[in-house]
Amino acid sequence: MTTFLIKRVLQSMLTVLGVITAAFFLVRLAGDPAVLNLSAEASGEDIARVREALGLDRPMIIQYFDFIWNVLRGDFGVSLRQNVSAMSLVLERVPATLELALTSFVLGLGLAFILGIIMRMTGSRFVRQLIMWIALGRQAIPIFSFGLVMILIFSVWLKWLPSLGRGTLSHLILPALTLGTYELALYLRLFNASLATEQRQDYVRTAYAKGQGKIQVLLGHMLPNALLPLVTVAGINLGLLLGGTVVTETVFSWPGVGRLIVQSVSQRDFPVIIAGVFLISLMFVVINLIVDVLYGLLDPRVRMV
Amino acid sequence: MSTPMATADTDIVLSVRNLSIEVPGAKGPVRLVDDVSFDVRQNEVFGIVGESGSGKSLTMLAVLGLLAEPLKIVSGSIKLRGRELTSLSFEQMRSIRGKTMAIVFQDPMTTLNPVLRIGKQIGEAVRLHNPGMSSRQVRDRVIELLQLVGIPNPEKRYSQYPNEFSGGMRQRVVIAIAMANEPDLLIADEPTTALDVTIQAQVMSVLAEVRERTKAAMVLITHDLGLVAETADRMAVMYGGRIMETSPAKTLFSNPNHPYTAGLIASLPRVDREVKELYSIPGFVPDLANRPRGCVFHPRCAMSNGRIPCREEKPLLHALRDDSAVACHFSEETAAWRQAQEKAVQIVDREQIDERDVLAPILKVDNLTKDFQIGVGLLRSSQQLKALRNISFEIPKGRTLGLVGESGCGKSTLARVLLRLLDASGGDVYLNGEPFMNLRGTRLRAKRRDLQVVFQDPYSSLDPRMTIHEVIGEPLRIHGRYDPQRIDELLAHVGLTPDAGRRRPPEFSGGQRQRIAIARALALNPDVLILDEAVSALDVSIQAQIINLLKKLQEELGLTYVFISHDLSVVRHISDEVAVMYLGRIVEHGAVREVFESPAHPYTQALLSSIPRPDASEGEGRIVLEGDLPNPLSPPSGCSFRTRCFRAVEECARAEPKLEPRTGIDHLSACLFPGKPSYVLADMVGEAAGHAERTNV
């Protein structure tokens, strides 16, 4: 287990290195930061001065190693717009992103779990189809239009919930619901298919032959096995939620990392972009690492290897 | 319908009457079990034998109330200790399942839940029917059960997971679950089919022991005639969802009443004699959606000859003398048919065969080794698994080498190395005199034509989306020799018509698919065919057809076979030479008659003695090997078999005995004390034909 962990941690570090390397060069592809950040009337001399100040006059490869060295020391540079450390700007936004991502994640997974069990337990074709159609219908609507419709219904017409911003629990409900239900159909389909597969397994027959009831077999035997594929997909999804909630954050004016990165892109604030991308990729690999460990805990066969 | 079993006494545990099971089909309901009746009495073993699709497992699942949707009992009654079960709901059945009756399923690898601890899985069965027990009491009972089924270190095993158990040990756990509440009726559904022969002997003796202790009645469902004849008291033969006959198990081989049973017995290769050609029941297992009118067996019956009663009238089970009953209009003719059949059997004259000119070896294997590196990691030291150790043999053109051994002995690894699907770690292989192991690229592909393979599972070895024409044509296309006529010719070789080429694999039965796989292997005119358990997945009646086909093709095309199998009787029937493998080594090698009639290595002797035989009284002269295969990552010092050997002494631990000729033995063996225990001699050689079938089908 420890060797496995060390191996995975090293792999994860390589992944993060790859991501920030790609980010560094992609940002450079967008053009010369010095030019992009100066007004159109700036003279050639001004540009040269800024380039020198930012170290942009050196060869690209030197700049890259300089950048990596700084990252290793935890220095992501200073925001070109706000003149504060880029990383501190990003870190400021992390709690908001975590709050939204985790809430919607738990909401989506929990809903899928409960609905999946209901679908299995009733054994009714009608109930199964109904739930599935609702979930699919939800997924067919893009996040921004669903979000706007939610705002229209609950904020504008019913005036039950605030339409934007962050603060109280009531601020969280609409964005979390929008984001959380989006992957519901995927989870449900997967969970239902994997429960159906488990139902055909021999050990289920063994459990019935012992005299166990349907609910006992479902919860005690099929569930631990059926959760395995769900854990994998949920892990990837949580990573996506942490990084890719841009649309939801924008629709509901949620002050998260995603919105910060989008703002920084439009303002060409490169250090902030890179700091944000770094943090998101770090969270992504950490979550995947946790999923792998969790998988091992759930399945003794994986643990042995 | 009259009941064949006249007894109506109180010691009847299970009574099934006129049971029929149906499943909805495209053209109306399909009857899978048809009008089945039998009784199981206290303290007896009742065997149900049949091929796949005979309805034997469905019948017992119905007894347990575990028929899955959309299967349905349409008529009949099932009484357990006089209580009618068919009218009980699933919930009502819960108090009976696992308490009054329990079941041991076939495959111990899938029967246990992989993510739950063994102790919990057995404990569930205890707790469920003893709600008053404390956790401590449940745990004690589970430990007691683990001891009962002979699992060492029960305290430690209690908290382990199924993947930490070997197949044989898992099956013991499954038996422990079944015996948790000392049921009156134990159903064993192919309990040893997925296990090796030496493990099968262990599991059967555990079953006998626990039964002895609890006096439970047992229903043994199996396709293995030898096993049922040896183990059961009475038995029923099922075919096409109907019972063909019931009889005392001991007289099954000597006195079958139904032509189907007689045909099955004649289809079995035997370990004690060698015949030119096996009898094979013609045709295929019936498609029950188009159940034949009249007797379900008549289209394949050797005695029917299209007589009107066979075609028009369902024969009912009627009583004969000595507790037997048969469902055949002309059962009195069976004995005569059998005699005629027995007369027609040509015993192979080995001496004549052995005097054939021995041609130059076409396949020569010289000191072949294969090591696997296990656990190669960044920081972990790797371990070496020696899968093949110094394998050497030669096969002359046109001959067959049988490779026998249990799972994990390396026989399939050998096949993959020979095919160059795996790289050897050392040694050479010469094909037609040319070295084969160092070829690369184009030259390897060209040479591979001479060496083809047929795998075990005909369901996964053919791409379901290709037509048969494409399947067989593929090797021809790859080598630029595509010719539609050649494909028809190949189909004809394996007994299929050209129009089969237009269909796809799912439309064919297992036996037909194996014919297609053979045709594909023959497409490029190979010299050597590797047959990796090629008949193991087939039913007895189909197996005989394929074996006969293989023998015919060998004669016609001068093919050389490497025949890999765990089934000794089949190997005896088809091979000229046989090599026995244990833990990556050949431990005995010689002409087939020499090895079977005077086995020198204790392992070979144990294998031969593990084959169920109807004529042996319980336990007599049987070598039951103890324990499991040793961990191949840390094999025992010296002789690798010594940990399970009944003849091992200190000396065996010192050095690994070489495979060489030894005093008094007419073939190669790797044992310091070769030779035969007296009873093997008496059993194997001294017996006349007639009721000596010892087969593991």
Helix boundaries (H) for B307-370: 308-312, 334-344, 350-354
Nearest CA-CA distance, residue A210 and chain B, Å: 4
What average pLDDT score do residues B630-652 get? 87
Nearest CA-CA distance, residue B94 and chain A, Å: 4
Strand order of the sheet with strand B400-404? B451-454, B528-532, B560-565, B400-404, B577-582, B585-591, B668-669, B660-661
**Which of the two residues, B683 and B244, has the higher pLDDT score?**
B244
Nearest CA-CA distance, residue B377 and chain A, Å: 8
What average pLDDT score do residues B41-54 get? 91
Residues B320-360 have pLDDT tens digits of 877 899 999 999 999 899 888 888 887 776 666 666 667 78
What average pLDDT score do residues B247-257 get? 88
- How many domains is chain A partitioned into structurally? 1
Nearest residue in A to B180, CA atom: A210
Range with the poorest average pLDDT among A21-35, A37-51, B489-503, B561-575: A37-51
Out of A7, A202, A209, the one facing B107 most closely (by C-beta) is A202
Residues A131-187 have pLDDT tens digits of 989 988 888 888 888 888 888 888 888 888 887 777 777 788 888 888 888 888 889
Contact B23, B71 (CB under 8 A): yes
Instruction: Flag whether residue B321 sits within 8 Å of chain A, measured between CB atoms.
Output: no
Instruction: Flag whether residue B116 sits within 8 Å of chain A, measured between CB atoms.
Output: yes
Residues B212-227 have pLDDT tens digits of 888 899 999 998 888 8
Chain A positions touching B377 (Cβ under 8 A) are: 3, 7
Contact B530, B365 (CB under 8 A): no
Chain A positions touching B177 (Cβ under 8 A) are: 206, 210
Kindly compute the dihedral angle of the four CA atoms of residues B550, B551, B553, B556, in this order, to the nearest 10 degrees.
180
Contact B694, B613 (CB under 8 A): yes
- Token representation of residue B473: 């044509």
- Identify the CA nearest to B222 among candidates B618, B513, B540: B540
- Identify the CA nearest to A9 among candidates B381, B374, B373, B379: B379
Q: Is the pLDDT of residue B695 over 70?
A: no
- Identify the CA nearest to B220 among candidates B199, B234, B201: B234
Chain A positions touching B141 (Cβ under 8 A) are: none
Collapsed DSSP state (helix, strand, coil) of residue B683: helix
Tell me what ipTM this predicted complex has.
0.80
Q: How deeply is A215 buried, as exposed, middle or buried, from its count of CB atoms within 10 A (0-12, 13-18, 19+)?
A: exposed
Residues A185-206 have pLDDT tens digits of 889 989 999 998 998 889 999 9
What average pLDDT score do residues B423-449 get? 90
What average pLDDT score do residues B481-490 get? 91
- The C-alpha atoms of residue B413 and residue B288 are separated, in whole angstroms, by 39
Contact B593, B575 (CB under 8 A): no
Chain A positions touching B64 (Cβ under 8 A) are: 209
Residue B3: pLDDT band by 50, 70, 90 thresholds? Answer: very low
Q: Is the pLDDT of residue B473 over 70?
A: yes
What average pLDDT score do residues B11-31 get? 92
CB-CB under 8 Å, B97 with A209: yes
Burial track B83-99 (b if 16+ CB lie within 10 A, e otherwise): eebbebeeeebbebbbb
Is residue A276 situated within a structural domain?
no
Q: At residue A39, what is the residue type? A: S
Annotated domain spans of chain B: 254-348, 467-524, 598-685
Nearest residue in B to A206, CA atom: B111
Its domain, for residue A136, covers: 98-255
Kindly compute the dihedral angle of the four CA atoms of residues A186, A191, A192, A194, in this order, to the nearest 10 degrees.
120
- Token representation of residue A93: 């936004």
Mean pLDDT of chain B: 87
Residues B176-223 have pLDDT tens digits of 999 999 999 999 999 988 888 888 888 898 899 888 888 899 999 998
Q: Is the pLDDT of residue B559 over 90?
A: yes
Instruction: Flag whether residue B115 sits within 8 Å of chain A, measured between CB atoms.
Output: yes
Q: Is the pLDDT of residue B693 over 50?
A: no
Nearest CA-CA distance, residue A298 and chain B, Å: 7
Bridge partners of B41, per DSSP, are B12
Return the beta strands (E) in B27-180 as ranges: 30-41, 45-50, 72-80, 83-84, 101-104
Is residue A112 situated within a structural domain?
yes
Out of B110, B124, B380, the one facing A212 most closely (by C-beta) is B124
Nearest CA-CA distance, residue A186 and chain B, Å: 25
- Token representation of residue B433: 């005199």
pLDDT the model gives residue B207: 92
- The C-alpha atoms of residue A6 and residue A18 are separated, in whole angstroms, by 19
Percent of chain B with pLDDT over 90: 50
Look at the alpha carbons of B441, B443, B445, B448 in this order and tell me if their dihedral is positive or negative: negative
Residues B87-117 have pLDDT tens digits of 999 889 999 999 999 999 988 888 999 999 9
Is residue A158 situated within a structural domain?
yes
What average pLDDT score do residues B579-604 get? 92
**Which of the two residues, A249 and B245, has the higher pLDDT score?**
B245
CB-CB under 8 Å, B161 with A202: no
pLDDT the model gives residue A178: 86
Percent of chain A with pLDDT over 70: 95
Contact B21, B32 (CB under 8 A): yes
Chain B positions touching A213 (Cβ under 8 A) are: 91, 94
pLDDT the model gives residue B490: 92
Nearest CA-CA distance, residue A234 and chain B, Å: 20
- Token representation of residue A50: 């800024």
CB-CB under 8 Å, A3 with B380: yes
Chain A positions touching B92 (Cβ under 8 A) are: none
The enclosing domain of A135 has a CATH number of: 1.10.3720.10
Strand order of the sheet with strand B30-41? B30-41, B12-23, B72-80, B83-84
Length of chain B counted residue by residue: 697
CB-CB under 8 Å, A213 with B94: yes
- The C-alpha atoms of residue B231 and residue B612 are separated, in whole angstroms, by 8
Chain A positions touching B379 (Cβ under 8 A) are: 3, 6-7
How would you classify residue A140: left for phi > 0, otherwise alpha for psi between -120 and 50, otherwise beta?
A: alpha
pLDDT the model gives residue B9: 61
Indicate the DSSP class of residue B251.
G
